[in-house]
């Protein structure tokens, strides 16, 4: 299966890849190990990882209790931001350094950045990176890069972690989705997240008019007349 895990913006700036299309990445464990290592390199992170919320139930009960507290939206402003906005965030956007040190006193979590993995409008997981107190805070460029990575991981999760896949059915793209290009599928995912044409253009590094023209082509391919009809058709297919 082909994985689109390298944001176009990273190609443009010729930065070290944080993921790539590679047939050797055949399952979730390989994907997470491969991409996690590249996340750490690219973001100069002390720690990094990809986490799916349904895996909490597979962990040791004591770890489950710790995670439920750590990921509580009442206690953790980063978790709350992800839940409410489905957008990447670092601690500086949601709280002060003094408050963050109280919330998370670990030296290797002095700076934290996290992004959402979203499938059909639902938050199913997150991508996270941390830096220790000797390192600089994450910035807006880091958030932009993470946004692209999360988009591609969301696309991957939508095709490989769906109920049909877990039930042992084929993970091949649906007939309707197969009509669309990789870039068009990126646009579909952003449309499903409620992004405007201008926001989609900014995230994919293309013009707003290019997004409009792409949507027209996609509507013709799918024989639909609106965004809502497009999403409904692809979700049901």
The residues, any chain, with a CB within 8 Å of residue 73's CB and separated by 6 or more, are 79, 80, 83, 84
pLDDT of residue 11: 33
- 78 neighbors 101 (Cβ within 8 angstroms): no
Topology, domain 177-236: Arc Repressor Mutant, subunit A (1.10.10)
CA distance 88 to 143: 6
CA distance 186 to 180: 10
- For domain 8-166, the CATH architecture is 2-Layer Sandwich (3.30)
pTM of the model: 0.61
SS3 116: strand
pLDDT of residue 104: 86
Q: List the 122-131 sheet strands across, edge first.
A: 47-52, 122-131, 111-119, 89-90
**Inter-axis angle of helices 197-204 and 208-222, nearest 10:** 110
pLDDT of residue 109: 92
pLDDT of residue 67: 64
In the block, tokens 């980063």 appear at: 78
List phi, psi (to 5°) of 142: -60, -40
The per-residue pLDDT string of the chain (237 residues; one tens digit each, 9 = 90 and over) reads 233 333 333 333 333 344 433 443 446 677 777 788 888 889 999 999 888 887 765 666 766 666 666 667 778 899 889 888 888 999 999 999 999 988 888 899 999 999 998 887 788 889 999 999 999 999 999 998 888 888 878 877 777 665 443 333 344 445 677 788 878 888 888 888 778 899 888 888 889 999 999 999 999 988 888 888 887 777 655
- 191 neighbors 200 (Cβ within 8 angstroms): yes
Q: Where are the domains positioned within the chain?
A: 8-166, 177-236
CA distance 92 to 69: 21
CA distance 44 to 23: 27
Element (H, E) at 97: helix 97-103
């Amino acid at each position: 299966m082909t994985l689109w895990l390298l944001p176009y913006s990273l190609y443009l700036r010729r930065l070290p890849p944080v993921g790539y299309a590679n047939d050797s990445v055949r399952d979730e464990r390989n994907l997470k190990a491969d991409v996690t290592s590249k996340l750490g390199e690219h973001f100069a992170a002390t720690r990094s990882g990809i986490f799916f919320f349904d895996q909490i139930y597979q962990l040791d009960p004591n770890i489950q209790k710790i995670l439920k507290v750590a990921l509580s939206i009442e206690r953790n402003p980063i978790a709350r931001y992800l839940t409410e906005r489905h957008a990447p965030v670092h601690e500086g956007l949601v709280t002060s350094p003094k408050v963050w040190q109280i919330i998370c006193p670990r030296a290797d979590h002095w700076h934290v950045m996290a992004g959402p993995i979203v499938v059909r409008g639902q938050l199913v997981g997150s991508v996270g990176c941390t830096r220790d107190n000797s390192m600089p805070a994450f910035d807006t460029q880091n958030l932009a890069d993470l946004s692209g990575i999360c988009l591609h991981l969301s696309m991957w999760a939508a095709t490989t972690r769906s109920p049909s896949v877990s039930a042992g059915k084929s993970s091949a793209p649906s007939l309707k989705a197969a009509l669309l290009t990789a870039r068009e599928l990126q646009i579909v995912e952003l449309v499903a997240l409620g992004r405007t044409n201008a926001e989609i253009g900014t995230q994919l590094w293309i013009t707003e008019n290019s997004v409009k023209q792409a949507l027209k082509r996609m509507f013709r391919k799918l024989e639909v007349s609106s965004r809502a009809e497009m999403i409904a058709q692809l979700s049901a297919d």
